[in-house]
């Protein structure tokens, strides 16, 4: 593994989470599935990084590898400058309280047989924290649940949106630095989705959270993120400031993704430059046998011979806007 | 067959359709007084959140609701495939209805994995309806099935046809489901969340495919979705459903520029928009969709509506047409008068 730092990592003092050349392989039968390959990014304090891509691109695997669930095959995860991949046992458990996770399906993430209050208090109980019940009341109030009436009920008595509030309360109980949200709103109805997105913004401000927000919905990711990282077939394609990426997508895959979104406002789309982008053809190649060179080249409308031979490295196309493509689309 | 006749006569004319279902909690008022008409070549988009009754309505049009589940149904569903007269599907015996499913009307479901039989080769699933309804023999049916797979954009169809569903990706499976639905050239296609389980790039491929096939076959289509974006550019008319009712019905463009019902507006404003800068505060709709068991009197949206007045809690607002616009209807006592929220919408 080369120790050369990729150019899109920032040299700042307030980096809470730094992921370096992360790779995760899974053995499936005799094959090795390269779920994540050489992914690096950093997240500064108070920042939200959106991780987007289609199913199978490895975005959830990255989220889980940060938590060491399971530990990555290669690469490092620096949380507050501490290398989590080097830790194990008690030290890892201790460190991991600083990172918490919420998941896509809020109902199956909660034990149906336990009371809401006990679910939220579990982390506090395990670590023997003082004043657990005070803390539980506080986080329940923060996420908009009435501790007195909701605390003694069980998850099935709540709607999906309410269950996601319970999950958020549980994740906040231990006062984490980093919250990893894996598709937290994609199972919710649109009217409830907005409530949860607003709640996450409020919690981020109130508890000074740093977030990694994993989702496939590009509009949702844009709404909540300061920076966005786009993944395709286990690799990072493009990373940078949210508004810059959405206004001037440089990677052909990002452009194809953005052009595919049906917008609810048919009139707002007419002037968008990406509307003439060709529709993505074909199917996602197998991550067990990814294409050589650039992994997107088999579906890329701009692919050339060089794309098959050389793996594209991250290059800057603007301030805080990096793309891994030999022939990025540059718009003024 | 005279084309003029089929053009003027709608394929489907639904009047005051009401469906109530049995459940362990009581009577579910799933569909309440829904009316619309649909002609050949036209697409009706039906938008609503989960539990708004859109899927129950679709299944009742297809006659797919289990008989035991339906406690009560009323209204009329006049259907006319090719020749008049139109016939009321609700009064038709099941024996006759089953001859319509496939040749006259077909449906596509949300999850292409569960819609296909995992233990049967595609060839069996694709040829079933043409052999049953059109009477093709095994050889002809196979040729037809390969044609169909080609038409829905599956490469190497003559090899694929002998595969099983698990050997295909999600997008490919949904193409197969579409091919099965179109096997007998139906006049009406109901697509219930056809792309919800798919990725955005695949979603676009599938929606484009449906639009092309609809043009080629001159079908009437009902496109059911929870995503306003999916129907915005693909439907001619849009019906917004809430708690079993159509609360607003309008031509697609009118709906987005001159929406009348507060729920339509609230739904529209709660969606994160790709053109808004990041960290734009979303206007969430407070509360959650109502239970459909023994619904409270009054407008079902009143508890969540920012414009609700005392009257809204007591009386159910009737469906009324907007002045001078016959095909724009809403069910609200206090419709939005000006173009709401997004003033830039008609720039």
Which of A318, A256, A305, A292 lies closest to B200 in space, CA to CA? A256
A3 confidence band (pLDDT: 50, 70, 90)? low
A197–chain B Cβ distance below 8 A for any pair: yes
> Which residues of chain B lie closer than 8 angstroms to A300, CB-CB?
none
Q: What percent of chain A has pLDDT over 70?
A: 95
Per-residue pLDDT, A283? 78
What pLDDT was estimated at residue B6? 43
Mutate which: B284, B287, B291, B345, vs A, most A CBs within 10 A = B284
Which of A223, A270, A287, A320 best tests the B interface by mutation, with the highest count of B CBs <10 A? A223
Give the pairing of strands A74-79 and A15-28. antiparallel
pLDDT at A266: 55
Q: B44-70, pLDDT tens digit by residue?
A: 999 998 889 999 999 999 999 998 999
Instruction: Please write the tens of the pLDDT for every residue from A300-320.
Output: 999 999 999 999 999 999 999
Given pLDDT bands bounded at 50, 70 and 90, which one contains residue B341? very low
Tell me, yes or no, if B228 comes closer than 8 A to chain A by beta carbon. yes
B8 and A CB contact within 8 Å: no
- Give residue B85's pLDDT band: very low, low, confident or very high (50, 70, 90): confident
Q: For B184-242, what is each residue's pLDDT tens digit?
A: 999 999 999 998 888 888 888 889 999 999 999 999 999 999 888 889 889 999 999 99
Backbone angles phi, psi at B110, to 5 degrees: -65, -50
Does residue A25 contact residue A331 with C-beta atoms inside 8 Å?
Answer: no
pLDDT of residue A264: 63
* Structural domains of chain B, ranges and CATH numbers in brackets: 3-235 (3.40.50.300), 261-274+282-346 (no CATH)
The pLDDT > 90 percentage for chain B reads: 63
Name the band, by pLDDT with cuts 50, 70 and 90, for residue A331.
Answer: confident
pLDDT (0 to 100) of residue B5: 44
Give the pLDDT of residue B8. 64
Would the CB atoms of B284 and A191 count as touching at under 8 Å?
yes
Which residues in chain B have their CB less than 8 angstroms from residue A284's CB? Answer: 169
Determine the average pLDDT of the residues in B89-103. Answer: 91
Buried b (16+ CB within 10 A) or exposed e, A49-80: bbbbbbebbbbbbbbbbbbbeebbbebbbbbe
pLDDT at position A141, please? 95
Burial class (CB in 10 A: 0-12, 13-18, 19+), A197: buried
Strand partners, B249: B239, B329
The pLDDT tens digits of the residues spanning A210-253 come to 999 999 999 999 999 999 999 999 999 999 999 999 999 999 99
pLDDT at B339 (0 to 100): 47
Contact call for B200 and A195, based on CB within 8 A: no
pLDDT at A270: 46
Task: Tell me whether residues A190 and B49 touch, CB distance under 8 A.
Answer: yes
Place of tokens 């043009």: B215
- pLDDT (tens digit per residue) in A36-72: 999 999 999 999 999 999 888 999 999 999 999 999 9
From chain B residues 13-42, the ones with a CB under 8 A of any chain A CB are none
Residue A168 has pLDDT above 80, yes or no: yes
CB proximity A178 to B under 8 Å: no
**Structure-token match 């490295």, residue found:** A313
pLDDT score, position A332: 72
> Would the CA dihedral through A44, A47, A52, A55 be positive or negative?
positive
Report chain A residues whose CB lies below 8 A from the CB of B285: 191-192, 194-195
Instruction: Measure A191 CA to nearest chain B CA, in Å.
Output: 5
Percent of chain B with pLDDT over 70: 95
Q: How many CB pairs under 8 A join A and B?
A: 148
- CA nearest A102: which of A168, A160, A192, A49? A168
Q: Look at residue B170 in the predicted model and tell me its pLDDT.
A: 85
Q: Could you report the per-residue pLDDT of B1-11, keeping only the tens digit for each?
A: 444 444 568 99
**Which residues, 6 or more positions from B4, have their beta carbon under 8 angstroms from its beta carbon?**
none
Q: Which residue of B has its CA nearest to A158?
A: B288
What's the pLDDT at A268?
Answer: 54
How many whole angstroms separate alpha carbon B195 and alpha carbon B60?
21
pLDDT confidence of residue A273: 53
Under an 8 A CB cutoff, do A262 and B257 touch? Answer: no
Residue B23 has pLDDT above 80, yes or no: yes
Q: Is residue B156 less than 8 Å (CB to CB) from chain A? A: no
For residue B264, give how far its alpha carbon lies from the nearest alpha carbon of chain A (Å).
Answer: 11
Q: What is the pLDDT at residue A265?
A: 62
pLDDT score, position A4? 66
Q: B112, B167, B200: best mutation site toward chain A, by most A Cβ within 10 Å?
A: B200
What value does the mean pLDDT take over residues B34-38? 96
Structure tokens at A67: 């938590």
- Does any CB of chain A come closer than 8 Å to the CB of residue B203? yes
A105 lies within 8 A of chain B by CB:
no
Structural domains in chain A? 15-98+178-188+209-323 (3.40.50.300)
Which tops the pLDDT comparison, B16 or B233?
A: B16
**Which pLDDT belongs to residue B200?**
85
- 8 Å CB contact of A216 and B199: yes
E-strand ranges in A188-268 read 210-215, 227-232, 235-241
- ipTM (interface predicted TM): 0.84
The chain A residue lying nearest B197, using CA atoms, is A55
At B51 the pLDDT is: 86
Name the pTM for this structure.
Answer: 0.88
pLDDT tens-digit map of B124-179? 999 998 888 888 899 999 999 999 998 898 888 999 999 999 998 888 899 999 99
Q: Which pLDDT value is given to residue A282?
A: 76
Handedness of CA B301, B304, B309, B310 (dihedral sign): positive
What per-residue confidence (pLDDT) applies to B44? 97
Least confident stretch, B20-24, B250-254, B284-288? B284-288
CB contact under 8 A, B274 and A201: no
Q: Of B244, B335, B242, B21, which is closest to residue A189 (Cα–Cα)?
A: B242
């Amino acid at each position: 593994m080369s120790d050369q730092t990729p150019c899109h990592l920032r040299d700042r003092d307030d980096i809470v989470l730094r992921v370096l050349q992360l790779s995760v392989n899974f053995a499936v039968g005799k094959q090795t599935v390269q779920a994540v390959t050489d992914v690096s990014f950093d997240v500064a304090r108070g920042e939200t990084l959106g991780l987007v891509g289609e199913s199978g691109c490895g975005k959830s695997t990255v989220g889980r590898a940060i938590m060491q669930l399971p530990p990555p095959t290669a690469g490092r995860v620096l949380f507050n400058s501490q290398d989590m991949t080097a830790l194990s046992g008690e030290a890892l458990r201790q460190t991991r309280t600083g990172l918490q996770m919420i998941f896509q399906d809020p109902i199956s993430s909660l034990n149906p047989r336990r009371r809401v209050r006990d679910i939220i208090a579990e982390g506090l109980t395990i670590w023997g924290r003082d004043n657990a019940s005070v803390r539980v009341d506080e986080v329940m109030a923060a996420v908009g649940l009435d501790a007195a009436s909701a605390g003694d009920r069980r998850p099935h008595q709540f709607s999906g949106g309410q269950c996601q509030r319970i999950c958020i309360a549980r994740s906040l109980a231990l006062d984490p630095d980093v919250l990893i949200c894996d598709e937290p709103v994609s199972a919710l109805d649109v009217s409830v989705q907005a409530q949860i997105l607003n709640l996450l913004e409020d919690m981020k401000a109130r508890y000074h959270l740093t977030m990694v927000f994993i989702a496939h919905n590009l509009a949702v990711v844009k709404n909540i993120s300061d920076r966005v990282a786009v993944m395709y077939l286990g690799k990072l394609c493009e990373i940078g400031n949210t508004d810059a990426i959405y206004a001037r997508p440089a990677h052909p895959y990002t452009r194809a993704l953005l052009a595919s979104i049906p917008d609810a406002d048919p009139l707002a789309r007419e002037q968008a430059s990406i509307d003439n982008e060709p529709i993505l053809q074909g199917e996602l190649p197998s991550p067990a046998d990814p294409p050589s060179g650039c992994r997107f080249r088999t579906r890329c409308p701009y692919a050339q011979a060089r794309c098959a031979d050389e793996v594209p490295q991250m290059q800057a196309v603007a301030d805080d806007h990096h793309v891994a493509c030999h022939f990025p689309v540059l718009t003024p | 067959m005279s084309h003029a006749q089929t053009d003027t006569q709608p394929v489907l004319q639904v009047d005051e359709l009401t469906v109530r279902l049995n459940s362990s909690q009581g009577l579910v008022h799933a569909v309440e007084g829904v009316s619309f008409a649909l002609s050949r070549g036209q697409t009706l988009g039906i938008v609503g959140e989960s539990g708004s009754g859109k899927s129950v309505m679709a299944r009742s049009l297809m006659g797919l609701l289990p008989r035991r589940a339906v406690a009560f149904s009323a209204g009329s569903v006049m259907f006319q495939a090719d020749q008049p007269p139109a016939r009321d599907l609700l009064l038709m015996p099941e024996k006759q209805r089953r001859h319509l499913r496939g040749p006259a009307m077909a449906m596509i479901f949300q999850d292409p994995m569960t819609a296909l039989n995992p233990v049967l080769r595609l060839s069996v699933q694709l040829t079933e309806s043409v052999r049953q309804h059109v009477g093709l023999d095994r050889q002809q049916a196979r040729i037809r099935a390969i044609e169909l797979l080609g038409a829905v954009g599956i490469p190497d169809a003559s090899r694929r046809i002998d595969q099983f569903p698990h050997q295909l990706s999600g997008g490919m499976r949904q193409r197969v489901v579409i091919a099965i639905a179109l096997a007998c050239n139906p006049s009406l296609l109901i697509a219930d969340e056809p792309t919800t389980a798919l990725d955005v790039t695949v979603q676009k491929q599938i929606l484009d495919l449906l639009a092309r096939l609809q043009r080629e076959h001159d079908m009437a289509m009902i496109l059911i979705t929870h995503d306003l974006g999916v129907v915005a550019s693909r439907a001619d008319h849009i019906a917004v459903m809430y708690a079993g009712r159509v609360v607003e019905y309008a031509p697609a463009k009118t709906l987005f520029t001159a929406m009348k019902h507060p729920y339509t507006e609230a739904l529209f404003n709660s969606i994160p928009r790709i053109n808004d800068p990041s960290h734009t505060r979303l206007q969430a709709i407070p509360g959650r969709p109502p239970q459909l068991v023994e619904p409270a009197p009054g407008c079902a949206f009143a508890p969540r509506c920012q414009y609700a007045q005392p009257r809204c809690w007591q009386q159910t607002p009737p469906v009324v047409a907007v002045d001078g616009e016959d095909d724009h209807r809403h069910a609200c006592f206090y419709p939005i008068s000006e173009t709401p929220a997004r003033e830039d919408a008609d720039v």
